Amino acid sequence: MKSIVQYFIKFPIAANLLMVGLFLIGIFSLLNLKSTFFPEVESRIINIQVVFPGASPEEVEEGVINKIEENLKGITGLEQVTSVSRENSGTVVIEVMRGYTTDRVLQDVKNAVDRISSFPVGMEPPVVFKVENLGFAMSFAISGEVDLRTLKRYAREVEDDLRAIEGISKVSLSGFPEEEIEIAFRERDLRAYNLTFQEATQAVREANLQLTGGTVKGKEEELLVRADSKGYFAEDLREIVVKVSPEGGIVRLHQIADIRDRWADNPNRSFMNGQPSVVVTVQNTLEEDMITITDKVKEYIENFNATHEVVKATIIRDSSIILKQRMELLTENGLLGFFMVLILLAMFLHWRLAFWVALAIPISFAGMFLVANMIGITINVISLFGMILVIGILVDDGIVIGESIYQLYEKGTPPLKAAVEGTLQVLPAVTSAILTTIIAFSAFLFIDGRLGDFFAEMAIVVIFSLVFSLIEGVLILPTHVAHSKALNPDRSPNRIQDAFDRFMGWMRDRLYKPTLRFAMHNKLLTTAVLVAVLIVTNGAMKGGIIKSTFFPVIERDNIVVNLQMPAGTREHITENWLSHIEQATWEANKELSDRFFQGEKEAILKVEKSVGPTTYEGTINVTILDGENRDSLTLREVINTVRRIAGTIPDAEQVGFSSQTPFGKPVSISLVGENAAELDRAAAKVKAELSQLEELADVNDNNQAGLREIDIQLKEKAHFLGLSLQDIVGQVR
């Protein structure tokens, strides 16, 4: 190592080339790094979705889900299999173990599902797919006092416009049900034309289709043969021929049925500040940059609002805001750290020496950006947290090495020799200190699960920043110190430096030395004091004086209210109670604005209301004033005020107030058992006990009751009429 240090000090151009090269390549790498909200990790989730129209959750579980889970046994590479059975549908979620290729496991899962031949009649084919890892970029609402069809038309135009923008590929719409064509056959007309329901539906099915008939190859041209008579609106189906009599009479669809365009019986509806809306969600793929996407979308929204008067676009969530705040914090900390090191070292040593020591911050980050670009790390809240965390450590080795060189120089050692000996003198201590920190952060590389994927990226950022800070401190810093005017024999200390030298001398002689001497002469007492401090600290943590949390509690700028009514509640009842909560939110806004801002600012900015995914569920998303501008108003104060004004919702199964967070509920308990009735009783008992605790609110469970049923039983007379239970249920369906 001595020869390498001597080489760089003897030939300073090598150190300069290394520094400039790291800077240039680091800047180029930084410009090529994509920005995402969370780290990009390969998807290890496989979904199996099944649709079974008209089936209860029990029928879905027994007839479909259990068979799928049974066939999945024996497939290697499955970490965890969870399933959910609902009315009309079910989902199986598979987590693939680390070290296994998700695509290979996906094929094994597809083969296992395809082998099942005993699925119930009426079930649609299962859909097996790998969940694509998409980052959330932005969502906004298109709202206005217009009908839903007009809103949907505007939303489709927005969707097409956004997808036409370079760098944006994932755009989805929500807030409206699917459109469908309703054909209601009139019983008296069916009888008049001697038609059955099945004959009429079969005639429509056979006439409304698209088919290809192959190709016809001529001498000069090849033609495609196809039939296209598929209709997409009620008007397109009116003239379908249902029956032709032997005499040549034709019965058309409009003669036996009422045909109309309508919205499907789907409660997927959304409102923004009381107006009907359609929500546009923009996501970023692994190849796309989130900040670039959000900037382009915001520019599009600005142009959209400038050119439309009937409807307007309102941003609901923008993930780039938090990311940009972290980037600004990193920049501020970097500049602050650079100048703090510069000023403090200049007070004791020389400002040129301080400058070369502080230069470790940008050089270390430049080297880290090079590695990050090579291994696919992005600029995200986790990697930025790692940079903010390590920024205060990067100059430690430089300070020690610089001070060691300066000390030897003050004792009369020539500059070049002082640089070599000063560096080698403290190199073991500096290296061990850096390696100790690297080993500590290396533990994050071995955490399993999605949490491990996140923290591994933070660890890599910290580790390589420290590696390059060591390279800079050992090879670049000594060279610059040796050949700069930092070691200037003609330099005379100024008054400020003299004052600080005297102050440090007083601290050393009057405080540090006596304290150290006392500790050395009273080893047992010193050890006892340290142990006592540890005991007191541990007691403070156990006693709740020092609070602990898995993730830091960060004040966010939104509140989510989840409402769940009893299963089967009609959509208009759920929407009425959501409107009640929305009204309470605006009343809370007036109260909070008057109390905290004397009416000068609005505490609540936007309220988005949505019904779904079932008729008895809904969500209120409240956007409040950002943390920098809401002074002493806390998120908890807003939640408590809205909850107090809204009051109790009669018959509601769940009413939950929370702030959106990617890390789940503060308290979550899973109950596992074979007997559903016992699980229900246990869940009710746990909920009752937890509800007694003052520290907890909104104690809910996810055990949803199904719809009430009408049970069809076949009478004995039906057998004499040649009717089976399947005939009756099929007709009812």
Task: Output the pLDDT for position 243.
Answer: 85
Please write the tens of the pLDDT for every residue from 352-369. 777 888 888 889 999 999
pLDDT value at residue 37: 79
Output the CA torsion sign for 463, 467, 470, 476.
Answer: negative
Which among 40, 48, 44, 42 is positioned nearest to 95, based on CA atoms? 44
In single-letter form, the type of residue at position 20 comes to V
What was the pLDDT predicted at 436? 92
pLDDT digits (tens, 9 = 90+) for 262-288: 877 666 778 888 888 888 999 888 788
Count Cβ atoms below 10 Å from residue 671 Cβ, excluding itself. Answer: 13
Block residue for tokens 């009842």: 573
The predicted pLDDT at position 533 comes to: 94
Q: Compute the distance between CA of residue 467 and CA of residue 465 in angstroms, rounded to an integer.
A: 5
Q: Do domains 45-130 and 135-178+267-318 have the same CATH topology?
A: yes
pLDDT of 222 strictly over 60: yes
Q: With beta carbons less than 8 A apart as the criterion, state whether 270 and 174 touch.
A: yes
What average pLDDT does this structure show over 613-624? 84
Q: Supply the mean pLDDT for the chain.
A: 84
pLDDT digits (tens, 9 = 90+) for 285-308: 878 888 889 999 999 999 999 998
**Which CATH class for the 2-37+323-491 domain?**
mainly alpha
Task: Report d(CA 346, CA 343) in Å as an integer.
Answer: 5
Instruction: Give me the pLDDT at residue 91, please.
Output: 92
CA 19 distance to own-chain centroid: 37
Q: What is the pLDDT of residue 298?
A: 92
Structure tokens at 392: 């205060």
Distance CA 718, CA 728 (A): 9
Q: What is the pLDDT of residue 305?
A: 92
- Taking alpha carbons only, the member of 270, 269, 276 closest to residue 310 is 276
pLDDT higher than 80, residue 116: yes
122: left (phi over 0), alpha (psi -120 to 50) or beta: left
CA dist list (Å): 567 to 233, 563, 653, 654, 706: 33, 12, 9, 11, 6
Q: Name the burial class of residue 206, with classes exposed (0-12), middle (13-18) and buried (19+) by CB atoms within 10 angstroms of its CB.
A: exposed
**Residue 489 in this model has a pLDDT that exceeds 80:** no
**Residues 549 and 609 sit within 8 Å (Cβ to Cβ):** no
Tokens for 274, please give them.
Answer: 């009381």
Q: Which of the four pLDDT bands, split at 50, 70 and 90, describes residue 494?
A: low
Buried/exposed code over 159-193 (b: 16+ C-beta within 10 A; e: otherwise): beebeeeeebbbbebbbbbeeebebebeeeebeee
What is the CATH number that goes with domain 45-130?
3.30.70.1430
Cβ-contact 278, 174 below 8 angstroms: yes
Instruction: Give 437's contacts (C-beta < 8 A, 6+ positions apart).
Output: 393, 462, 466
Domain 180-210+231-263 -> CATH class: alpha beta
Averaged over 394-407, what is the pLDDT? 84
Which pLDDT belongs to residue 693? 81
Measure the CA–CA gap between 314 and 606, rounded to whole angstroms. Answer: 9
421 CB neighbour count, 10 Å cutoff: 18
Number of CB atoms found within 10 A of residue 85's CB: 23
pLDDT digits 0-9 by tens, 73-111:
888 888 888 888 877 888 999 988 887 888 899 999 999
CATH assignment of 135-178+267-318, given 3.30.70.1320, 2.60.40.420, 2.60.120.380, 1.10.569.10? 3.30.70.1320
Third-level CATH fold of 558-664: Alpha-Beta Plaits (3.30.70)
Q: Are 360 and 469 in contact (CB under 8 A)?
A: yes
- Residue 369 has what pLDDT? 92
Percent of the chain at pLDDT exceeding 90: 14
Contact 390, 462 (CB under 8 A): yes
Residue 478: enclosing H or E segment and its boundaries? helix 477-483
* CA 351 to chain centroid: 45
Band of pLDDT at residue 479, cut at 50, 70 and 90: confident
pLDDT in tens, 121-148: 888 889 999 888 788 888 999 988 888 8
Q: Given CA atoms 486, 407, 465, 330 in this order, what sign does their dihedral have?
A: negative
Q: CA 97 → CA 46, 207, 458, distances in Å?
A: 11, 49, 22
At 48 the pLDDT is: 92
Q: Report the pLDDT value the prediction gives residue 58, as an integer from 0 to 100.
A: 80
Structure confidence by residue, pLDDT tens digits, 501-530: 788 788 888 888 999 999 999 999 999 999
pLDDT band at 439 (very low <50, low <70, confident <90, very high): very high
Q: Tokens 């420290």 sit at which residue?
A: 466
CB 577 within 8 A of CB 612: no
Element (H, E) at 397: helix 396-410
* Under 8 Å between Cβ of 65 and 116: no
**Beta-carbon-side half-sphere exposure of residue 236 (alpha carbons within 13 Å):** 13
pLDDT digits (tens, 9 = 90+) for 181-196: 888 888 888 888 888 8
pLDDT given for residue 7 in this prediction: 82
Q: Where does the pLDDT of residue 663 fall: very low under 50, low under 70, confident under 90, or very high at 90 and above?
A: low
The token duo for 126 is 């299962």
Mean of pLDDT values over 423-440: 90
pLDDT at 659: 72
Beta bridge partners, 89, equal 51, 86
What pLDDT is attached to residue 529?
Answer: 93
Rounded Cα–Cα distance for residues 730 and 728 (Å):
5
pLDDT at 575: 86
* 22-27 contacts, C-beta under 8 A, 24 or more apart: 22/363, 22/366, 22/367, 22/370, 22/468, 23/362, 23/363, 23/366, 25/366, 25/370, 26/365, 26/366, 26/367, 26/368, 26/369, 26/370, 27/366, 27/369
Q: Domain ranges in the chain? A: 2-37+323-491, 45-130, 135-178+267-318, 180-210+231-263, 558-664
Buried b (16+ CB within 10 A) or exposed e, 273-301: eebbbbbbbbbbbbebbbbbbbebbbebb
**pLDDT the model gives residue 660:** 56
In percent, the amount of the chain with pLDDT more than 70 equals 94
Contact 316, 279 (CB under 8 A): yes
> Which token pair is 255?
């003669």
pLDDT band at 370 (very low <50, low <70, confident <90, very high): very high
SS3 47: strand
Predicted model pTM: 0.69
Q: What is the DSSP letter of 653?
A: S
Half-sphere exposure of 242 (CA within 13 A, CB side): 24
DSSP string, 108-157: HHHHHHHT---PPTTPPPPEEEEPP--EEEEEEEEE-SS-HHHHHHHHHH
Produce one character per residue of 121-154: b if its CB has 16 or more CB atoms within 10 Å, e if not: eebeebebebeebbbbbbbbbbbbeeebeebbeb
Determine the pLDDT at residue 666: 66
Tens of pLDDT, residues 33-64: 888 877 877 778 899 999 888 787 888 888 89
